[in-house]
Amino acid sequence: MRRGGLFWLFLTPVLVWLFLLIVLPHLDLLILSFRADGAWSLENYGTFFTEPIYWLTFVRTAAYSVITTFLTLVVSLPVAFFITKLSRPGVRGFLMVLLLLPFWVSELVRVYGWMILLRESGVLNYFLLQLGLLEKPVEMLYNDATMIMGLVYTSMLFMVVPLVSVMEGLDDSLVEAAYDLGASKACIWRTIIIPHCKPGITSGSIVVFMLVLGNYLTPNLMGGKNSLWFTEQIYNQFIASFNWNQGAAFGFMLLVLSSLIIWLGLKITGQRLGEVAS
């Protein structure tokens, strides 16, 4: 087939983008992670496995990301269900707009909002003191529960939107038929709704997991000094210790972990990345 000039016009910028900005930098990341003191070495990865603080943080980050993803799913399912199957059609569009709006606002602003709500001199403490429910202010920031709440908050949208779109495709008459045949509510959820929503649950979970795992802002600001999020370790190696090779190794570990989990998720549900992306 003869290729027109247009083909090259389309191909060139795309190739430049993908090879110069995606492939080469990540190859560089991989190479640098195997170098120490100007020579090839496994030292950077050795440090990771011998220093408990590093691999513990790594495991902790992974585990909390899984928990956060699950909590996000639990919170989002009823909301998506309400919007698609219970709200009046006229209200539906309005609810969707309302749902999307906060997520257009910078993550930093949202986290800051939680900080002035929850900190010791924060708004929530003020109200609780005024109501007499507390005697002296409590620091609600800087603990794991708050950090997870913050992570759920920042990533909810990426769960709700795929759930809403997949639930919109659920034919009401399937639910009616199940009900007519004698199924209870729990049974309808288990046998009809959840199986139908599987693709949405998968893509939502993958995106949320990835975003939580790679989040820096929320653990850093809401988890405080003890947040021990792996991205912070990477940041410290790069900015504070200036040990870029070590940081590269950490970065590569995180990349492998997130790719692995995503690959597993796709494998288990038999989907392809292209389908999930759209």
Partner 1 sequence: MQPDLVVSHLVKDFGTFRAVDDVSFPVPKGSFFSILGPSGCGKTTLLRMIAGFEEQTGGTIEISGRDMRGVTPDKRPVNLVFQHLALFPMMDVAENIAFGLKRRKVSSAEIRRRTEEILERVDLPGYGAKRINQLSGGQKQRVAIARCLVLEPSLLLLDEPLGALDLKLREQMKVELKKLQAKIGTTFIYITHDQSEALVMSDTVAVMNRGRFEQVGTPQELYGDPHTPFVAGFVGDSNRWEGEVVEMDGETVLVRTDEDLVFRARRKADAGKGPATLFLRPEAMLIEPVDASGLNTFPVTVRAILFDGANSRLLTATPSGHELLVALPQNRAFDHIRPGADITLGWHPQSGIAFGRGEGRP
Partner 2 sequence: MIRSLPRSRAYDRSFVVFVVLYFVFLFAPLLVTCVLAFNDSDFPSLPWRGFTLDWFLADGPKRVGIFEDPDNLRAIWVSFQTAIWVSASCVVVGVCAAFLFEQENFRGKNFLYFLMLAPLVIPGVILGISILLGATTAGIYFEDHWNLDIELFRPSFWLVVVGQFSFITTFVTLVVSARLRKFDRSLEEAALNLGATRLQVIWHITLRYLRTSIIGSGAVAFLMSFENFNTTLFLVGSQPTLPINLYLQVRDGSTPVINSVSFLLIVGTSLLALGNLYLDRKE
Give the residue from 181, 207, 208 showing the smallest Cα distance to 192.
Answer: 181
Q: Which does 56 bind (CB under 5 to 8 A by kind): partner 1, partner 2, none?
A: none
Nearer to partner 1, 197 or 206 (CB): 197
- Binding segment for partner 2 (CB under 8 A), chosen from 34-42, 48-56, 98-106, 194-202, is 98-106
CA distance 140 to 4: 63
Smallest gap, in angstroms, from Cβ of residue 104 to partner 2? Answer: 4
Nearer to partner 2, 53 or 97 (CB): 97
User: Is residue 194 within the footprint of partner 2 (CB under 8 A)?
Assistant: no
User: Is residue 238 within the footprint of partner 2 (CB under 8 A)?
Assistant: yes
x-or-dash pattern for partner 2, window 44-63, by CB under 8 A?
--------------------
Q: Coil, helix or strand for 113?
A: helix
| CB neighbour class for 20 (10 Å; exposed up to 12, middle 13-18, buried from 19) | exposed
Residue 39 sits at φ, ψ, to 5 deg, of -140, 165
Interface contacts to partner 1, rule CB under 8 A: 171, 173-174, 176-184, 187, 191-192, 195-196
What are the CA-CA distances from residue 88 to residues 34, 39, 71, 96 (Å)? Answer: 58, 66, 27, 12
The interface with partner 2 within residues 121-150 (CB under 8 A) comprises 121-123, 126-127
Smallest gap, in angstroms, from Cβ of residue 251 to partner 2? Answer: 5
Smallest gap, in angstroms, from Cβ of residue 52 to partner 2? Answer: 22
Nearer to partner 1, 159 or 197 (CB): 197
CA distance 74 to 71: 5
Give the residue from 166, 1, 177 showing the smallest Cα distance to 77.
Answer: 166
Residue 269 sits at φ, ψ, to 5 deg, of -95, 0
Q: Which does 244 bind (CB under 5 to 8 A by kind): partner 1, partner 2, none?
A: partner 2
Smallest gap, in angstroms, from Cβ of residue 8 to partner 2? Answer: 10
Q: Which does 215 bind (CB under 5 to 8 A by kind): partner 2, partner 1, none?
A: partner 2
Helix (H) or strand (E) holding 5: helix 5-16
